[in-house]
Amino acid sequence: MTSTTAIHAGHVIGFDGVSHRHIEDGVVAYEGDTITWVGPHSAWRPDPDCTEIEAPGRLVTPGLINLHAHIGGSPLDKSYIEDVGRREFGMSGLYEMLPARSGAQDEEGTRACLDFSSVELVMSGTTTVFSMDPMPEYNMARAAEIGLRMYLAPTFRSGRWYTSDGRQVLYDWDEQAGLDGLARAIEFIERHDGAHDGLIRGMLCPMQIDTCTEDLFRRACDAARDLGVPIQTHASQSVVEFHEMMRRHGRTPVEWLLDIGFLGPRGPMAIVGHGIFPNSHSWINQIGNDIEILGDAGATVAHAPWVFARRGIALESFADYLSADVNMSIGTDTAPQSMLEAMRWAAVLGKVTGRNAERSTAAEVFTAATLGGAAALGRDDLGRIAPGAKADLLVWDTGGTWMAPFRDPLKNLVYSAREEDLRKVVINGRTVMDERSIPGVDVAELGVRLQASGERLWDRIPQADWAEREIDELSPRSLARWGD
Ligand SMILES: [Zn+2]
C-alpha cells in the first residue's frame, strides 16, 4: 500500500496537456512512481494519509532528459581534449583525440567513469539518460542502484575510422561485426527492457552514419520498429563526415538518412545525434535543404552544444531548427555532464548564431530538455509534471546566491542556476538525492578513482596515438611547468 506524497512549493512547473505552465504556490502529488495531481495550492484537497512536504522557498520542475551521453568515457575528456583542434579534421576531436583516449582507457577506467557519471548526472538534474556506452550490464546495474532512468543497449557499427598520417581519415570495415553487434543489442533489449521497475529501457544505436553500412542501418531500423525502441546515430557531426557521405553517395548525411528509411517512419523516435552540419552550415555551404528534411520527417536532433562550442563550432541556429519543426532535444555528450550547462550553451549560442535575443529562449531550451527528449523516447509520461506522468522531479532552492531574486523560474534556471541550487531529485517516485547527498555514494572516492584512471590513461597515450605522441605533445599543457 503506497501513500501519497505532496510537495507544497513556492513555484511549480506544471504541464497543462499542451505546454509547461508556471504555478505560483503550487502542489505536486505523487503515489508510488506516478504523479497524481498538480495545480495551485488553493485547489488542493489532500487525502487523510497524505505526507505533505512544505517547501515555500523551492521550485519543482520535471526532471531533465539527457538524450546524448557517453558516460563511460566522457569524464576522461577533462584536462585532455580542450583547447586543441586540427584544421585537417575540421577542428573535430573524433579522428585523433578520441581514438587515442579510448585506446588508452582500461576497463577500470570505464567502470570509474560509469560510477562517477551516474552520480554527476543526478546531481546536475538529469533524471533520464540515453547512454551510448560499453559494459551495458555493469552500467545498467549501477544506474539501477542510484535510481537513474536509463536508455541503453550495446552500440554497434560495421567499421571504424582511423588516420595514419594526421591528414586523411580512412575506414576499416568488418560488416559481420556490425551484424553481430546488432544481434547483441536486440538480445540485450529483449532481456532487460523494463527492468528495475521500468527504469531500464532499450534503445538502438548504430554508432555513426559513416561507420555503418546501409544494410546494417536498414536492419537496425526494422528492429527499432519491431521492438518499439528509439534509435539514434551520430550524423552531420563533422565536416569530414559530411564530405565523406557526399563522396560515397553524392548525398548529404541527412539526405542519405532519408533515402535509406532512417528518417520518417519513426518520427521523433529517429534521433540524429548532433545534426550540427547540415548543408546550410557556414562551414559547409552546400546546396540542399537538410533542416527542412529533418523537420518534415518529424525527426529529433540531440543537440549537445558544448562538445562543439569548445572547438569553435555552433548550431546555425537552434531557433531555425525549431521553426522548421525539428524536434529539438538536449544532451551533454562530453564533460561536464550537466544539463544545466547544456541548456545554457544551447540558449546563448542560439542567440549568437541566430543574431536574435528573442529566440533560443530559456523556455525553448527547457522544453527541448524535457518534452523534446520525451517525444524522442516515445514517452508522454516523461519530461512533464502532469497526472499519470512518472514522478521524476527536481526541487530547487529559489533563495540562494545564484537564484535570488526569483520571478521567472526558467530564466533563472537556464541563465543563473548552479548545480548546488538543485537540492532534491526524485526519480520514479523515489528520492535519489536529498540535500546534495545520494545514499551510499562517496563523491570524493569517485574522484580518487577518476584521477587514478586519468593518470594510467595519460601514460598510455603514446601506445594509442597514431603518431605515438606523449600526452603533453598531443594535448599541450596550458601553462609551462615552473622552472621549465
Ligand atoms: Zn556522441
d(CA 331, ligand 1 centre) in Å = 9
Q: State the alpha helices, DSSP H only, in 24-126.
A: 97-104, 107-123
d(CA 333, ligand 1 centre) in Å = 5
d(CA 234, ligand 1 centre) in Å = 6
d(CA 483, ligand 1 centre) in Å = 40
Q: Which CATH class is domain 64-376?
A: alpha beta
- Between strands 422-427 and 430-434, the pairing is antiparallel
For the chain, give percent helix, strand, coil, nearest 5. Answer: 40, 25, 40
d(CA 264, ligand 1 centre) in Å = 22
d(CA 334, ligand 1 centre) in Å = 8
d(CA 67, ligand 1 centre) in Å = 10
Give the span between the Cα atoms of 227 and 225, in whole angstroms. 6
Regarding pTM above 0.75, the answer is: yes
Residues 6+ apart with CB under 8 A from 22: 11, 12, 13, 408, 409, 410
Give the DSSP H/E element, type plus range, for residue 376: helix 373-376
Count H helices and E strands in the chain, helices first: 16, 17
**Any idea which residue has 555503418 for its cell?**
212
Average pLDDT, the chain: 97
pLDDT at position 47 is 87
Give the span between the Cα atoms of 332 and 303, in whole angstroms. 8
d(CA 295, ligand 1 centre) in Å = 21
Cell of 185: 543489442
DSSP 304-362: -HHHHHTTT---S-HHHHHHTT-EEEE--BSSS--HHHHHHHHHHHHHHHHT-TTSS-H
Tens-digit pLDDT profile for residues 406-446: 999 999 999 999 999 999 999 999 999 999 999 999 999 99
d(CA 338, ligand 1 centre) in Å = 15
d(CA 153, ligand 1 centre) in Å = 15
Which residues in 183-198 are b (16+ Cβ under 10 Å) and which e?
Answer: eebbebbeebbeebee
Q: Which sign does the torsion angle of CA 82, 85, 91, 93 carry?
A: negative
Among 371, 362, 373, 295, smallest CA distance to 332 is for 373
d(CA 12, ligand 1 centre) in Å = 32
d(CA 304, ligand 1 centre) in Å = 8
- Give the three-state DSSP class for 142: helix
**Residue-range domain boundaries for the chain:** 4-62+385-434, 64-376
Phi-psi region of 343 (alpha: psi -120 to 50; beta: other; left: phi over 0): alpha
Residues of the chain with pLDDT under 50: none
d(CA 26, ligand 1 centre) in Å = 38
Tens-digit pLDDT profile for residues 192-214: 999 999 999 999 999 999 999 99
pLDDT at position 48 is 87
Give the span between the Cα atoms of 134 and 207, in whole angstroms. 12
pLDDT at position 127 is 98
Which residues in 326-356 are b (16+ Cβ under 10 Å) and which e?
Answer: bbbbbbbbbbbbbbbbbbbbbbbbbbebbee
What is the torsion angle, in degrees rounded to the nearest 10, for the CA atoms of residue 164, residue 165, residue 169 and residue 172? -10
Whether the CB-CB separation of 202 and 186 falls below 8 Å is answered with no
d(CA 132, ligand 1 centre) in Å = 8
Equal CATH topology for 4-62+385-434 and 64-376: no
CATH number of 4-62+385-434: 2.30.40.10
pLDDT at position 457 is 98
Cell of 391: 514522478
pLDDT at position 1 is 54
In which order are the strands placed within the sheet that holds 149-151? 64-69, 126-131, 149-151, 200-201
The residue type at 407: R
